[in-house]
Amino acid sequence: YVGNKVEQGIGGGICQTSSTLYAAAMNANLRSVSRRNHSMTVSYMPAGMDATVSWGTIDYQFKNNYDFPVYIQTVTANRNLTISFYGNGAAMEGKTYKLTSEVVKTIEPSTKVIEDNTMNEGTTSWDVKPVTGYVAKSYLVTYQNGVEINREAVATDNYIAVNGVMRKGTKKVEVKKEEPKTEVPKTEEPA
């Protein structure tokens, strides 16, 4: 994302890795030291569960709050990334964790229509495609032997709405009328 537009750029997919790492770390109850959501929602994670990075300015960081080391395994296969955390399972005492989120507010964008006499009537094009905005709350749910025992609020994330700008063609399309074809009778010449 650059401003309120989606642009191709180097490193554009790195946030998929940081978002996957964030969800995996939270599911292991490893808390964030630094984490920010994207300015607009992303297609690969629910609102409230993404973590953006931008070289030199925004980073995702987490802390091992356990008294034992953790091992992080990442595997890619068929264009999918899986991140797993391993540690002392006995020290977990039957507890597991799950990051979850919910949208608490939807912000609908508006669309401005500009009449364009250089485009044919009945055609449209987008200068800026509208993007719906959201407010999402995320929670870390703790389970003891599969039963929910705690739900802790983690973050409230705001995703901006982007108002659309559409061009609508007003140029009249000329329809050419075809002249009726007249058939010229053929004459046969004597042999």
DSSP state letters, 123-173: -EEEEE--B-EEEEEEEEEEEETTEEEEEEEEEEEEE--B-EEEEEEEEPP
* Contact predicate 30/70, CB 8 Å: yes
| Residue 187 pLDDT > 90 | no
pLDDT tens across 2-26, in order? 555 655 555 557 899 999 999 999 9
Query: For residues 119 and 124, what is the distance between their CA atoms, to the nearest angstrom?
Result: 8
Which pTM does this prediction carry?
Answer: 0.79
pLDDT at res. 9: 55
Query: For residues 100 and 140, what is the distance between their CA atoms, to the nearest angstrom?
Result: 6
pLDDT at res. 159: 97
